[in-house]
């Protein structure tokens, strides 16, 4: 990934957390769109953690879905923020909170990419203490 080359000062290491037992997680998807979604999520971690954080990427098969998780151990979001981000029909709101306006477009694109593939994106609080998103895409038969 290009992100590894961009992190010359080592503030945003990326850890691959996928179980080695998972040989294939077969989905029918546009490779470039999935790459864009994962890139948006990694960039989101970098943008919202100025002091750095570790980004954890994982792929697993769960109940008929290929789940791509991107999490970090950064500042995270409150339960209320996570709830709002999961249920807002459109994140870009026109108010005076510019941080909030900046915060949503990448996540909106990720949700749209997931939905265009028959899946969904779930925003979570990371198990590593920061922010997380699970991109759930239906498995191909």
Q: First vs last Cα of the chain: how many Å apart?
A: 28
What average pLDDT does the segment 9-34 reach?
Answer: 87
The residue that leads in pLDDT, 96 or 28, is 28
Closest CA to 138 of 29, 10, 37, 15: 29
Confidence of residue 19 (pLDDT cuts 50, 70, 90): confident
Q: How far apart are CA 40 and CA 46, in angstroms?
A: 10
Q: How far apart are CA 26 and CA 29, in angstroms?
A: 9
What average pLDDT does the segment 37-54 reach?
Answer: 93
Is 126:71 a contact under the CB 8 Å cutoff? Answer: yes
With a cut of 60, say whether residue 68 has pLDDT above it: yes
Confidence of residue 60 (pLDDT cuts 50, 70, 90): very high
The residue that leads in pLDDT, 94 or 44, is 44
Q: Which residues, 6+ apart, have CB-to-CB distance to 127 below 8 Å?
A: 71
Mean pLDDT of the chain: 85
The conformation of residue 57, written as its DSSP 8-state character, comes to E
Q: pLDDT (tens digit, 9 = 90+) per residue, 90-131?
A: 545 455 555 444 456 788 899 999 999 999 999 999 999 999
Confidence of residue 58 (pLDDT cuts 50, 70, 90): very high
3-class DSSP assignment, residue 124 = strand
pLDDT at 131: 96
3-class DSSP assignment, residue 50 = coil
Q: How far apart are CA 111 and CA 12, in angstroms?
A: 24
Give the chain's radius of gyration (CA, Å): 15
> What are the structure tokens assigned to 86, written together?
């999961």
């Amino acid at each position: 990934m290009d992100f590894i080359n961009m992190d010359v000062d080592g503030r945003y290491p990326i850890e691959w957390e996928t179980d080695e037992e998972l040989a294939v997680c077969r989905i029918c998807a546009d490779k470039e769109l999935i790459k864009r979604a994962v890139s948006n999520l990694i960039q989101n971690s970098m943008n919202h953690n100025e002091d750095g954080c570790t980004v954890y990427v994982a792929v697993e098969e769960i109940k008929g879905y290929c789940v791509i998780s991107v999490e970090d151990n950064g500042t995270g979001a409150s339960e209320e923020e996570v709830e709002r981000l999961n249920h807002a029909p459109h994140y870009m709101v026109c108010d005076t909170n510019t941080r909030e306006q900046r915060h949503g477009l990448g996540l909106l694109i990720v949700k749209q990419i997931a939905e265009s593939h028959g899946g969904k994106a779930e925003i979570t609080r990371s198990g590593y203490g920061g922010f997380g998103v699970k991109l759930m895409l239906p498995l191909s038969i």
